Amino acid sequence: MKVNFILTAIVFFCVSASVISQKLIDDTKVIKVLMFENEHKDKKKIINQTARIKYKLRSDSKRVYKGTLEDIKEGLMVVDGQVILFNDCSMIAGRVFSEELLIGGVCSGIGLTTIIFGAALAGNIIVGGTIVAGGLAALIAGIVMVTKVKRFNLDKGWVVHSAEIIYNAAE
């Protein structure tokens, strides 16, 4: 009787392990991005597809164009239905994804939590007011970091090209 139980348990674990490890669907995502590189500063920044961007053309350097980045291909980008070559741009600006975005989100969360905690201590005006003021400063700094727009001057060391980020959330 014990042998049947042990054999059944072994078969159950083997079958359940193989079922769990099977890949049911291919959940691979591909995100097209603008990759900005500055070799002198050794920096790399990215702006993803569907982002709001601003850009200047070399032919009309006084006017700043704005739009939504609809598609990114080799050597060009499509903004609001218009095809713009990278070589025609003198400046591209937009929200970049970097460490600063993560730090800004953390600062915003800490600031909001601190404001709530300080308001709970409002009975003691000095302590509660100081905590609320510190939380407000952290919240404002976090919001500034999250909403900051980075400008890439393509005539001063920045190079732009298309790239893709491929990842699988299930792995």
pLDDT one-digit tens code per residue, 57-111 = 888 878 888 888 888 888 888 888 888 888 888 888 888 877 778 888 888 998 9
Per the structure block, which two tokens stand in for 57?
Answer: 């053309």
Q: Are 35 and 44 in contact (CB under 8 A)?
A: yes
Beta strands in the chain (DSSP E): 28-38, 43-48, 52-57, 65-73, 76-79, 82-85, 89-94, 150-153, 158-168
pLDDT at 147 (0 to 100):
83
pLDDT tens-digit readout, 111-149: 988 888 888 877 777 777 888 888 899 989 998 888 888
pLDDT at 159: 87
**pLDDT tens-digit map of 6-15:** 657 676 666 6
Assign 3-class secondary structure to 16-56: HHHHHCCCCCCCEEEEEEEEEEECCCCEEEEEECCCEEEEE
- Bridge partners of residue 160, in order along the sequence: 36
* Residues in Cβ contact with 134 at an 8 Å cutoff, skipping those fewer than 6 apart: 114, 118
Nearest to 171 by CA among 15, 27, 16: 27
CA end-to-end span of the chain: 40
Instruction: State residue 70's pLDDT score.
Output: 86
pLDDT at 6: 66
Round to whole Å and give the CA distance between 124 and 132.
12
Residue range 10-62, pLDDT digits in tens: 766 666 555 555 556 667 888 888 888 887 888 888 888 888 888 888 888 78
CA dist 118 and 123 (Å) reads 10
pLDDT of 26: 66
Query: Of 66 and 3, which is predicted with more confidence?
Result: 66
